[in-house]
Amino acid sequence: MEKVNIGRTELTVNPLGLGTNKIGGYNLFPNLDDEMGKQVVQTAIDHDVEMIDTAFMYGFGHSEELIGDVLKNNDREKVILATKGAQQIAADRSVTLNNNPEFLTQAVDESLKRLQTDYLDIYYIHFPDQNTPKAEAVGALQRLREAGKIRAIGISNFSLEQIKEADADGYVDLVENQYNLLQQDAMHEVVPYLKERGITFVPYEPFAAALLTGRYSPDNLPHFDEGDHRLSIDLYQPDQLKRNVEKVEKLKPIASRYGVSTAQLVLAWYMKNPLIGPVIPGARTTEQLLANVASVSIALRDEDYQAIDHIFASANL
Q: Which residues are catalytic?
A: 58
User: Cα–Cα distance between 271 and 2 in angstroms, integer?
Assistant: 10
Beta strand pairing call for 4-5 and 150-156: unpaired
Buried (b) or exposed (e) across 92-124, using 16+ Cβ within 10 A? eeeeebbbbbebbbebbeebbebbbbebbbbbb
